[in-house]
Structure formats: C-alpha cells, structure tokens
Structure 1
C-alpha cells in the first residue's frame, strides 16, 4: 500500500509480525517440510468464486505462490461491504486436497487486531479504562523495574510498553530459556512468561518509544480474561466474532489441526519447546508454542472471516461504536514515522488524502498473512501455509501485488458472495 511511492513493507520490515521466528529460534537448520512432502510435479487449482472483472487478483496470487513453491493460499476481497471474491489456491501434487475458501489457516499477528477489538469492547462497556495500570490489573511485581507501574492498557495496545526486541530477546520466543531460568519443565505457560518478564528491566520508559512487542499483546489477553471473567477465547467469540456471524474462527493448537485446517511448511527445523526431549521438529510444529501466542498470534481463520471481522471498523455494527473506532486509529503519543504511518490500537495506520489505509501482517514458521483495509472501501485478506523457501524471495511482495490488482479494477462488480460462505 503506497503513498508517494512508499510501501507498507517499509513498516513491516521495522515493525515485523508475529515474532520473526526464524531468526529468534536460533537453532533452525536443515530442509524439513511440515506434514506430507510436496511432490515435484505440482498442479495449479483454484476453488471458490470471483465476480466479473477481478481476474487480476487470481493472477497476482498464482505468480506469487508459484515463484515461492507455496502449497496453499487463500484470498478474500470486499468492496464497500460486499464480498466479491473468495478463493482457495493450491500449488501442489494432484493427491493433495484442494484448498477451499473455507479452509482454516493460522493467521499469526493478524490476531492482534482481534485482541485489540476485544479490549476496545471492554473499554466501551466500562469494564476497563485505557489508563488502567497493567501491573495493578495483573498483579505483576514491579520490584525489578518500578517503571512497569507506568505501563497502561493503551500503551500495550500501541506498542509503547517499553519492551524492545531489538535490545532484549522477544519474550514470546524464549520458552526454553525461561524454563531453564525458572527451573521448570517444558512446556511453560503464560504465568511463567509473566513471572520471568517481571524479573527483568524494561528497555525503555513506558510511553517514550515505539517498539513492536508480542509480549504486550499476550498481556492484553490476560487482561481480557481478568476484566471479562471469561477465558480469552470465549470472550472474543462472544463479543467480537459472534455478532459478525463468524463461526469458523478458533484458537489454534501447536501439535494438532482443527477440522479443515491446512498443514504448514518450512525449510527449517528447531528444538521442541513442547516437552523436555530436545528433539528436532519441523519449525511450525513445536519450535514455538501456539497456545502461549494466543492473543498475539494464535488464531485460526479463513480469509473470508477476516474481511468480515474487519468490517467492524467500517462502522454500523454492534461490536464497536464510533468512539472506539476513532481510538483505534488515533495517533499515539509517540512513534509516528517520518513517512506518516504509525501503530494505532491493533492496526498499522497511514492517513491518506481521503480516508486512511489500515492493515496488519502476520508471520510465524509456516504462516504468512495480511489483512488490509484501503481508504476507498476495498478490504482484502490473504493467507499462506508457508513463509520461507529456498528462493529467498520476499513474502511481503504480496502486499504491492494485491494493492496494484485492486488499483487495476476499473468497474467493481455489484454482487455479494457472503451468503455462500457463512
């Protein structure tokens, strides 16, 4: 998504998505592929429906997947509230089941707008305040760094809490180290990560420096549980997804697949963090704990359900009111880039001449995801079951490819496919 020739990739390379896992895991090497091996002789298959005049989207995704050898992909496109494209794409051997528009994918950090929406709903209902202190809400010790008292709910939403993975390792990818330090067996839990984090100093004073922090969004998940008196997943299902008619989305599992969920592929392996065996596993299946990543990177979704979720921010729904939506896109106290974009509450935001572009990307071993809301009423979500391959081509290139495909549409179709994909 560009303005004055600047791409959203500029933001993505700095802000990242759900973990930069291949670099954090450290011990990854080899050429393992999760699940069944994809045979050399691949066939291209497309499922679902695209209304007239939208062939450029199919062309863009096909070229992207074939150049990188991605087995499964999915795309949904909305124009001014109407679903106009819902596709599943397969580039694999003929024996591999075709990806459907209803297949579930891990969405990595595209989970963050979902978590932020749940927090906004709690604020809207008077059960939280943006100024509430996180240490007080969660009973976190501030002995190691009294500045932790100044971390608020709003600062977590805007990545202004003071944790900086460019200075200290990302706490959400340090399971083995945390277990060692605390003398615990693997797998560790949310409470263990929080206890360990509270023994360390912040990298910045809260509110003074933007730094993308997966840990902050994990904390928001625990705050949702505290304020709602429900599990994180149950509250999101009831207050965010159900009002939009979204029934397929659910929290994923590290070592098992939900019905209809795709498999995940990576050229890398790593040591498991799911037990103490130290065994080498395919990176998507145990080199990180999807359960611990829940609020910051643990959801499964279809592309159709993601664009349906994004419609909350178009207004006129029972989930968020105008005040909450405006808060989501408001400029933070710091962190506005010289090129004009910034991180709001769960969304990256770029003001345009008319309206704004808002988006979030996601990346984990075996997963690449992107959700975009354009200034002109076009929304799309694209999901892949792979984020790395021997080609070393950028996966963020899908961003301008789809943006350009949308720009090339001269006349948007007037139909609506939503009724087919409930």
Structure 2
C-alpha cells in the first residue's frame, strides 16, 4: 500500500503545486481502499484545506444516480424503458417517437440545453424542472430518435421530472430515501446554493490569462437530475461498492445499465455510464464539469480497481484520474481480495 501511496503522491504533488489539481482522491481495489488523500484548498480565501470529507459538486456523475433511480422504477413496474415521452408529456414535440431508453442513452436527438451560449446569464437564477424543460422543448431535434448518439443534459432533466410524476416525490426526496439513506451516504444530497453545508468546497477557474479566480456563480437548480448532486469521495466509495451488490438494483438491471448502446469512436454510452474496453478490461466511468468543479469516476469491472476524483478547479481531470488508475493497475496490490 505504501508503495502505491508514494507513487501517487509523487505524481500529484507537483500538479497541486502548479495549481493543475486541487481536490480529493480515493481509490480502491475490490473494495479495499488503497489510496485516500486531498490536495489544495477547499477555500483559498479562508485558507481551508481540502480533505476526503470535503463536499464537492460532482456535476454529471449525477447521471449515474439518475440512471439507477429510473431502473428502480422499471424493476417495480412503475415505468418501462419503451415508454414514449408523450406518456408523461403529451404535448412534447416528437414525444411519440422518443422513449425512456433514448433519454438514458443520449440517443433522443433532443438539443442539449447547456450548449446555450447565454447559459451563465440565466443560470444565476433558480429554476424549476419545468422551467429548464421550457428552454429546450421547442427546439428542433438534432436527429431522429435512436439514430445517433449526442450527449444531451436535456434528456436527464426529463428523466428527473418523469420520476417526480411517477413517485409524487421530488427528485431530492427520492434520492435521499432510496439511495443516500439506505447506503449511509450521509454527506451526499442534491445541492442548492442557499443550503448551509459544512465542509463545502468553493469553486475556482482560470481566466484566459491564466489567473486563478472565483468561478462564476451557477445556481445548481439549473443542473437538477443531470448534474446537481454534491458529495465526497468517501461517499462515492460507498456508492461504488453498492453497485457490486443488489442493494439498489438486481443483477440483470446492473448488467443492462453497463451495456453499451451508441457512442463515439472510443466509447459507448449505457444508462448513465460511459463504457469502454481497455487493456485492463471493461471500464465504466463518467466525467463531470460544472462552473468551479470537475470530477471523474473510473470503475474497472474486471480488476476491481476504482478511482474517485473530485476537484474544485474547473479543469480537465480525466487524464489525472486515468494515470492514478494505471499506477494501481500496474502494482501487485491489484491482486488483493
């Protein structure tokens, strides 16, 4: 274990010193934690260090949680993957041709609302799910449903809203009662900027000149079921381990969630997860980005290696996460368990 710690620290410390990484990391093999550490400041102005208990906006890692929620409803017979969108939104354009399956897999053709160049102007204000849906529902489809893959946060907004219709609960309540509380994820919740949360990280970004600045304000209600969860690497470790059991979903549903549908050259998308074949076997993963924050979760199904990385600087951390996974994969420790 100490060898892995030394190698990863030797890799991360220079990055942290150059402000190329600030955040928390936790890695495990077959459920056993092999690395846990944090770098940089949770709040630079107050000189508060990041720790593995620091709460970060996890951005699009939220989609995996939404995917599990939808599959839970499928298992209970409350929803079917073939259901058309029109069943829940009768007046939605092309709603007869767009299914739950299309929304989950980014194959609906619905325009991605976060591509709006004016997003940061309206995203400073609070939004309801219906208000967000209004922003994209009247836009033309990018392609016919099912024909192509194109990443769209809009589909996951609709999934959260449909869940609320079916359960008569808010998305936040459902997450708490069906996932966070049963698993003991005590430091996870749907974020809102007006909540007072202990150990919450402040978010930062670089200006075009390379100066580190406070990130522009983004009201997290505008991310909703596509990206509004706040959590810690320790809670995400609990989440990872639950997906190796049937605590949340039966095995067939988990297998379906990790089955590739459509994608781009080097990856395909399942239900809330990116799926790839690597030299280390099957990888299911996701990255996230939201003003002030970045995240990555890597789950190597065959070797049991998992890496969680949460950052409070808005910068691409995917290569850092992959390098940490590579260090662990190349170590004899991967054979534990």
So what's the TM-score if we normalise by structure 1? 0.71
Change (3 A) 1:208 1:81: same
Displacement, 1:236? 1.2
Displacement, 1:373? 0.2
Q: Report the secondary structure of 2:325's partner residue.
A: helix
Which of residues 353, 358, 366 in structure 1 aligns to 2:284? 358
Structure with a larger share of its residues in strand: 2
Match of 2:95 in 1: 148
Match of 2:52 in 1: 101
In 2, distance between residues paired with 1:64 and 1:364? 21
In 1, distance between residues paired with 2:44 and 2:226? 33
Q: Which range is displaced more, 89-98 or 342-351?
A: 89-98
Change (3 A) 1:104 1:186: closer
Q: Report the secondary structure of 1:291's partner residue.
A: helix
Displacement, 1:260? 1.2
Match of 1:343 in 2: 269
Match of 1:299 in 2: 229
Note if contact 1:170-1:214 (Cα within 8 Å) is conserved in structure 2: no
In 1, distance between residues paired with 2:46 and 2:114? 41
Unmatched 5+ stretches in structure 2: none
In 1, distance between residues paired with 2:214 and 2:47? 21
Decide which structure has the larger Cα Rg and report it.
Answer: 1
In 2, distance between residues paired with 1:299 and 1:259? 15
Larger relative contact order (CA 8 Å, sep ≥ 6): 1
TM-superposition CA deviations, 1:103-132 (whole Å, max 9, x none): 111111111111111111111121111111
Match of 1:244 in 2: 183
Note if contact 1:284-1:364 (Cα within 8 Å) is conserved in structure 2: no
Match of 2:249 in 1: 320
Q: Which range is displaced more, 187-196 or 357-366?
A: 187-196
Note if contact 1:264-1:367 (Cα within 8 Å) is conserved in structure 2: yes
Match of 1:27 in 2: none
So what's the TM-score if we normalise by structure 2? 0.87
Match of 2:34 in 1: 84
Displacement, 1:312? 2.9
Q: How does 1:5-404 map to 2 (within 5 A)?
A: 51-55=1-5, 56-68=7-19, 70=21, 72-90=22-40, 96-137=47-88, 139-142=89-92, 145=93, 147-165=94-112, 170=115, 174=119, 176=121, 186-254=125-193, 257-268=196-207, 284-286=215-217, 288-314=218-244, 316-332=245-261, 335-339=262-266, 341-352=267-278, 355-374=281-300, 375-388=302-315, 395-404=317-326
In 2, distance between residues paired with 1:320 and 1:64? 38
Aligned residues: 330
TM-superposition CA deviations, 1:255-280 (whole Å, max 9, x none): 555211111112359xxxxxxxxxxx
Note if contact 2:285-2:298 (Cα within 8 Å) is conserved in structure 1: yes
Unmatched 5+ stretches in structure 1: 1-50, 180-184, 270-281, 389-393, 416-422
Q: Report the secondary structure of 2:12's partner residue.
A: helix
Give structure 1 regions of 4+ aligned residues with deviation exceeding 6 angstroms: 92-95
